[in-house]
Amino acid sequence: MADLSARCGPLALRNPFLLASGIWGESGESLAGAWAAGAGGVVTKSIGSAPRFGYANPTIETYERWGMLNAMGLPNPGIDEYPKEIEIARRAGATVIGSIFGGDADEFARLGARMASTGVVALELNLSCPHAEGFGTEVGSDPKDVEAIVRRVVESSRLPVIAKLTPNTSDPVALALAAERGGASAVSAINTVRGLAIDVRLRRPVLAHGLGGLSGAAIKPVGLACVWQIYEKVSIPVIGVGGIMTADDALEYVMAGARAVEVGTAVAFEGIAVFGRLVRELGERLDALGFSELEDAVGVAHSAPSASSG
């Protein structure tokens, strides 16, 4: 069976499939469960300085075949409460990446230092929630802000920093280059794509918050395009996120340049058993395609001869 271990800058992962932030990560037990089910690592919910209840319901609209629209509103117990959950996951042996969100570089730096003291192996900075007033995309859309936030967290935490970037921009490469300049060890691309659903009988948006973030199969081409463009211009590793439901979806991301991937909506639809399935299927697929290591597939689509050449 092909070697599925993944090296993502300083991070060594037993396989490339990470539990994405915001799905199944609310408790230490749930993080540990995803690890036991075969995830290569788990990313926590995005944690802020203070507890937040999140937006009113409805917060999720599900599209059976192609995805999910959410506006949860960054619900989380806050950085004072959450570390005990990380401890539970770590005691179960999980490789835990701590996700944080803040309103400016100072808040990110404080949160980064606190999160680093919990024993997580890396930090993922949420610079990309598409519908949070004062957070996410609102602080992660200007390359200058991204660079400053990443730099401050790198200084305050001394841990590998992963910048999770938004697809809701005309220039994802500029954001990735800014993260690299700030000292990020990797970028993850993408968070959800801003979207909307209308209930025509009620004549109002389906989600209580109105705008939401689209995830799942529908956004895979968007995520792939971002990873593809970033890989061509940025030296730090890229983690692919968006619509990974099958091993071939993951392999597409790897061939576009990703060194690891995050799985979210597939976990929401299928449960954590998805990790065992993806690991098994990816091993079989790599064997069938003649790859002895996952690493050998990273970025190969960039060097393939163009269909129009000759």
Q: At what angle do helices 105-116 and 143-157 cross, to 10 degrees?
A: 30
With binding defined as CB under 6 A, does residue 254 bind ligand RRO? no
With binding defined as CB under 6 A, does residue 243 bind ligand RRO? no
* 38 neighbors 276 (Cβ within 8 angstroms): yes
With binding defined as CB under 6 A, does residue 72 bind ligand RRO? yes
With binding defined as CB under 6 A, does residue 126 bind ligand RRO? yes
With binding defined as CB under 6 A, does residue 71 bind ligand RRO? yes
**CB-wise, 136 or 216, nearer to ligand RRO?**
136
Site stretch for ligand RRO (CB under 6 A), options 67-75, 138-146, 272-280, 301-309: 67-75
With binding defined as CB under 6 A, does residue 49 bind ligand RRO? no
Binding to ligand RRO, residues 14-43 (CB under 6 A): 22
Give the span between the Cα atoms of 123 and 160, in whole angstroms.
Answer: 6
Q: How many residues bind ligand RRO (CB under 6 A)?
A: 14
- 74, 111, 256, 268: which one binds ligand RRO (CB under 6 A): 74
**CB-wise, 15 or 215, nearer to ligand RRO?**
215
Binding site residues, ligand RRO, CB under 6 A = 22, 46, 70-74, 126, 128-129, 136, 191-192, 213
